[in-house]
């Protein structure tokens, strides 16, 4: 028995190492989990959502690696995002914090917001009013309500947006932006509560190198009414209708 123990321990160590290497490879090259800590993408994504991001969707850059380890210099196997994709990216200019927004402007586009209406290359984007967005906002049961619209981007892709201050929010009337080559213009679906490309000194245009991946599917969602230690409340805190939903 004493002769078998070292071999058994080494076999366990090898198994753990192999498992970690495989998990690291999957996380780097295929899918990485992210959670949503803020409300900037309401109603598409809610605080407490957990999702998988495809790392291969746009090719790979140093930001595809854990801790952004690697040399700068663009992407390999690069593919261009489509307008309307929901993307995780490293927020410029510090390139350290993960942000998630929707790409509305491609390289060369002219982007402007007038009276709450998104304009792309001089043409207003169609926006259709629907029922208000209503959600229980916190552990105290306070209700959050906002005007909700379906926005139809050029090419026909549709998604929902909300306007918490109507069409008079802090970035509902902007100057015209011209998206530089190799960059993208990002906006949150919660149009009055999103730090995004409209704020050039904060986020601005996002370089292609900063793209981490495309948000693909929600695999879990909790409404925040149960703390981690409140096991007995977990069944009522899960948003079951959002589990395993694709992201539009």
Per-residue DSSP letters for 152-196?
E-TTS-EEEEEEEEEE-STTSS---EEPPTTEEEEE-SBTTS--S
Q: Choose, from 40, 64, 194, 221, the residue flagged as catalytic.
A: 40
Is residue 32 domain-resident?
A: yes
Q: Strand 143-152 to strand 158-167: parallel, antiparallel, or no bridges (unpaired)?
A: antiparallel
Concerning whether 40 is annotated as a catalytic residue, the answer is: yes
Is residue 167 domain-resident?
A: no
Counting the structural domains of the chain, the total is: 1
Is residue 148 domain-resident?
A: no
CB 63 within 8 A of CB 211: yes
Concerning whether 101 is annotated as a catalytic residue, the answer is: yes
For residue 239, what is the domain's CATH number?
Answer: 2.10.109.10
Instruction: Tell me the C-alpha to C-alpha distance, in Å, between residue 49 and each of 34, 41, 140, 177, 215.
Output: 8, 11, 19, 31, 12
Is residue 140 domain-resident?
A: no
Long-range contact set of residues 221-228: C-beta below 8 Å, sequence gap at least 24 = 221/46, 221/48, 221/49, 221/50, 222/48, 223/46, 223/48, 223/136, 224/47, 224/48, 224/138, 224/139, 225/136, 225/139
Is residue 16 domain-resident?
A: yes
Q: Choose, from 55, 90, 91, 101, the residue flagged as catalytic.
A: 101
Is residue 212 domain-resident?
A: yes
CB 157 within 8 A of CB 151: no
What is d(CA 184, CA 151) in angstroms, rounded to the nearest whole number? 19
pLDDT in tens, the chain (248 residues): 444 455 677 665 555 554 554 444 444 556 799 999 999 999 999 999 999 999 999 998 887 777 666 666 778 888 999 999 999 999 999 999 999 999 999 999 999 999 999 999 999 999 999 999 998 755 566 788 999 999 999 999 999 999 999 898 889 999 999 999 999 999 999 999 999 999 999 999 999 999 999 999 999 999 888 887 888 988 999 999 999 999 98
| pLDDT score recorded for residue 243 | 94
**Prediction pTM value:** 0.85
Structural domain boundaries enclosing 213: 4-106+179-246
């Amino acid at each position: 028995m004493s002769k078998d123990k070292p071999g058994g321990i080494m076999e366990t160590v090898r198994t753990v190492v192999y498992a970690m290497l495989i998990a690291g490879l999957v996380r780097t090259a295929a899918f990485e989990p992210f959670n949503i800590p803020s409300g900037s993408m309401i109603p598409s994504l809610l605080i407490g959502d957990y999702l998988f991001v495809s790392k291969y969707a746009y090719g790979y850059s140093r930001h595809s690696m854990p801790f952004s380890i690697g040399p700068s210099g663009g992407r390999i196997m690069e593919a261009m995002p489509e307008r309307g994709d929901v993307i995780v990216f490293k927020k410029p200019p510090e390139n350290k914090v993960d942000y998630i927004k929707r790409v509305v402007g491609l390289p060369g586009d002219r982007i402007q917001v007038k009276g709450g209406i998104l304009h792309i290359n001089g043409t207003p984007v169609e926006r259709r009013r629907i029922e208000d967005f209503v959600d229980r906002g916190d552990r105290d049961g306070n209700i959050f309500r906002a005007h909700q619209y379906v926005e139809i981007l050029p090419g026909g892709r549709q998604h929902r947006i909300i306007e918490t201050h109507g069409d008079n929010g802090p970035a509902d009337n902007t100057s015209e932006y011209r998206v530089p080559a190799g960059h993208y213009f990002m906006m949150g679906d919660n149009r009055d509560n999103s730090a995004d490309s409209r704020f050039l000194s904060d986020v601005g245009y996002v370089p292609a190198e900063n793209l981490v991946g495309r948000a693909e599917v929600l695999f879990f969602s909790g409404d925040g009414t149960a703390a981690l230690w409140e096991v007995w409340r977990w069944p009522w805190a899960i948003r079951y209708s959002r589990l395993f939903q694709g992201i539009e």
